[in-house]
């Protein structure tokens, strides 16, 4: 036997039971995004490699070791499977001069790719819903993003998702903090692990993010960025917090929250849960005021966030969330050549009236077809044999409620199905 091939490690198939939950979730998310006035944008999955190097930063885990990059064999161009959506979204906005029409509220969703070590909640192909607001400079949009998230957790019935907040200030403020931080860490150089020593002069801020338990007191006592913020940055940060307090959204200021992508400034935030094990960040984002200019556009402030769909769905399930399995309204059983032709006409006629119809394909006895009708979850079977085909009528059989099979003419079928469904629903609701 030929050996079957497997999916790439860390890249998962989403099978129908699960994919239905995804669609349910995506429906909720789409309504939620519209209710805040965000509009969809779709970008390519492959982008020129320099886009991510410039946007995310050369000295970041993503760019240093996690990107799926390759050379286009036909023209030698360096390409990368997108590891995130912000860079692509900003690239698209610049390329299509979207900001000349004014500020933009945008969202996207789809697969992202990072060559990380796969584990529960961490995959090499994962999916994000990303939200970007381009051309807004006030703390109001930062607060809007955070309030949006809080509302979505509510809509989804998610509990135990906590907000962590920080401000990274401006590049100047960060530079001053960096100098003090490096001096402090230099003073404790012998305690740093290999990663810390490596980052000391390339990306010292990231050392604050270390998970190494032996370094926790060292980083806890390190100089805090917040103490280096100037008046404008503090005012901005306070502005965000006032709006969060007004809305009753609680948060913790986490001085060590620095984010793993270089484009951020001022407000950064993460929504974290302890319910998912090590990969507990379900959503993260912040302000990135220099990125548009850095990617070749006219300077424009911006802010956004992205959430991991796999992690959110895992949390939703953990709290008992379940999507109703998709069921047809009608299963069409048919036996014989003429019956099959009538079955196709009947099914199309019903679909034309908006019903979901599963037509039995592949033959088999009436008995085996009726079993399949039952297993499909459809409340009604339309049954067509040679007798029915000869008269142009079909049999209508309720599968859940009482009542026997009745004969119905094709042109009265949609009404009869509607009536039958109505009766069954009333019974289920207990109103009959
Ligand atoms: P990020 O923190 O790299 O930010 O990713 C955002 C979210 O994507 C994470 O909080 C997590 O839920 C999910 N995620 C990331 N990596 C993985 C993975 N390997 N497996 C499963 N889920 C994952 C960004 O990507 C920024 N572009 C967010 C942003 C948008 N900032 C401003 N606008």
Would you state the CATH architecture of domain 16-169+229-318? Answer: 2-Layer Sandwich (3.30)
Q: Is the CB of 311 under 6 A from ligand 1?
A: yes
pLDDT digits (tens, 9 = 90+) for 59-111: 899 999 999 999 999 999 999 999 999 999 999 999 999 999 999 999 999 99
Q: Is the CB of 307 under 6 A from ligand 1?
A: yes
Strand partners, 166: 268
What residue ranges do the domains of the chain occupy? 16-169+229-318, 330-423
Give 39's Cβ-side CA count (13 Å radius). Answer: 6
Average pLDDT over residues 368-381: 96
| 413, pLDDT greater than 50 | yes
Name the pTM for this structure: 0.92
CB atoms within 10 A of CB 279: 18
Q: Is the CB of 314 under 6 A from ligand 1?
A: no
The fold of the 330-423 domain, in CATH, is: Rossmann fold (3.40.50)
Please identify, by atom number, the ligand 1 atom nearest to the C-alpha of residue 128.
8
Q: How far is the CA of 282 from the centre of ligand 1 (A)?
A: 8
Q: How far is the CA of 281 from the centre of ligand 1 (A)?
A: 8
- Interatomic CA distance for residues 77 and 220, integer angstroms: 44
What is residue 429's predicted lDDT score, i.e. its pLDDT?
65
**What are the residue ranges of helices labelled H in 275-332?**
291-294, 309-318
- Three-state DSSP state, 431: coil
Q: Is the CB of 345 under 6 A from ligand 1?
A: no
Average pLDDT over residues 326-341: 95
Please identify, by atom number, the ligand 1 atom nearest to the C-alpha of residue 86.
27
- Structure tokens that stand for 36 in this block: 């805040």
Q: Is the CB of 130 under 6 A from ligand 1?
A: yes
Pocket probe mutation, ligand 1, options 105, 308, 311, max atoms within 8 Å of Cβ:
308
What is residue 354's predicted lDDT score, i.e. its pLDDT?
97
Let me know if the fold of 16-169+229-318 is the same as that of 330-423: no
Q: How far is the CA of 65 from the centre of ligand 1 (A)?
A: 16
- Structure tokens that stand for 387 in this block: 């007798």
Name which residue sits closest to atom 1 of ligand 1, judged by CA.
Answer: 284
Q: What percent of the chain is predicted at pLDDT more than 90?
A: 84
Q: What percent of the chain is predicted at pLDDT more than 70?
A: 99
Confidence of residue 428 (pLDDT cuts 50, 70, 90): low
Confidence of residue 422 (pLDDT cuts 50, 70, 90): confident
Please identify, by atom number, the ligand 1 atom nearest to the C-alpha of residue 122.
20
pLDDT digits (tens, 9 = 90+) for 181-228: 999 999 999 999 998 998 888 889 889 988 889 999 999 999 999 999
Q: Is the CB of 178 under 6 A from ligand 1?
A: no
Question: What is the chain's alpha carbon radius of gyration, rounded to the nearest angstrom?
Answer: 28
Confidence of residue 430 (pLDDT cuts 50, 70, 90): low
Confidence of residue 344 (pLDDT cuts 50, 70, 90): very high
Mean pLDDT score of the chain: 94
| 376, pLDDT greater than 70 | yes
Pocket probe mutation, ligand 1, options 68, 128, 152, max atoms within 8 Å of Cβ:
128
Identify the DSSP state of 278: T
Q: How far is the CA of 163 from the centre of ligand 1 (A)?
A: 15
pLDDT digits (tens, 9 = 90+) for 127-171: 999 999 999 999 999 999 999 999 999 999 998 999 999 999 999
Across 256-267, b (16+ Cβ under 10 Å) vs e yields bbbbebbbbbbb
Confidence of residue 432 (pLDDT cuts 50, 70, 90): very low
Q: Do residues 409 and 393 make contact, with C-beta atoms less than 8 angstroms apart?
A: yes
What is residue 96's predicted lDDT score, i.e. its pLDDT?
98
| 431, pLDDT greater than 60 | no
- Structure tokens that stand for 147 in this block: 């309030």
Q: Residue 85 is inside which H or E element, if any?
A: none
């Amino acid at each position: 036997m030929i050996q079957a091939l497997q999916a790439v490690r860390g890249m998962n198939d989403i099978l129908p039971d699960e994919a239905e939950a995804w669609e349910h979730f995506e429906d909720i998310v789409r309504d939620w995004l519209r209710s805040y006035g965000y509009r969809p944008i779709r970008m390519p999955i492959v982008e020129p490699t320099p886009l991510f190097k410039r946007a995310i930063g050369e000295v970041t885990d993503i760019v240093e070791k996690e990107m799926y990059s390759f050379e286009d064999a036909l023209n030698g161009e360096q390409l990368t499977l997108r590891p995130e959506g912000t860079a692509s979204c900003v690239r698209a906005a610049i390329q299509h001069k979207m900001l000349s029409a004014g500020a933009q509220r945008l969202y996207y969703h789809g697969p992202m790719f990072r060559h990380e070590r796969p584990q529960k909640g961490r995959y090499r192909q994962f999916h994000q819903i990303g939200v970007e607001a381009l051309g807004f400079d006030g703390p109001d949009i930062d607060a809007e993003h955070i309030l949006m998230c809080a509302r979505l957790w509510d809509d989804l019935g998610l509990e135990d998702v906590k907000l962590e907040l920080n401000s990274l200030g401006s590049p100047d403020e960060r530079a001053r903090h960096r100098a003090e931080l490096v001096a402090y860490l230099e003073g404790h150089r012998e305690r740093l692990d290999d990663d810390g020593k490596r980052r000391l002069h390339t990306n010292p801020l990231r050392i604050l993010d270390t998970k190494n338990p032996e370094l926790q007191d060292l980083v806890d006592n390190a100089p805090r960025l917040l103490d280096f913020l100037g008046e404008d940055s503090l005012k901005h940060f306070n502005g965000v917090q006032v709006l969060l307090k007004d809305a009753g959204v609680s948060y913790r200021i986490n001085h060590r929250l620095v984010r793993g992508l270089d484009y951020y400034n001022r407000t950064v935030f993460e929504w974290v849960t302890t319910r998912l094990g090590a990969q507990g960040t379900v959503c993260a984002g912040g302000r990135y005021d220099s990125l548009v200019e850095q990617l070749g556009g006219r300077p424009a402030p911006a802010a956004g966030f992205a959430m991991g769909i796999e992690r959110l769905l895992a949390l939703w399930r953990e709290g008992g969330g379940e999507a109703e399995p998709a069921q047809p309204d009608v299963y069409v059983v048919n036996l014989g050549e003429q019956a099959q032709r009538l079955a196709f006409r009947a099914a199309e006629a019903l679909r034309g009236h908006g019903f979901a119809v599963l037509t039995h394909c592949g033959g088999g006895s009436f008995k085996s077809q009726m079993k399949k009708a039952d297993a499909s979850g459809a409340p009604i079977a339309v049954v067509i044999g040679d007798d029915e085909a000869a008269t142009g009528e079909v049999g209508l059989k309720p599968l859940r409620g009482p009542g026997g099979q009745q004969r119905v003419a094709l042109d009265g079928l949609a009404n009869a199905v509607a009536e039958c469904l109505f009766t069954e629903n009333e019974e289920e609701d207990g109103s009959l």
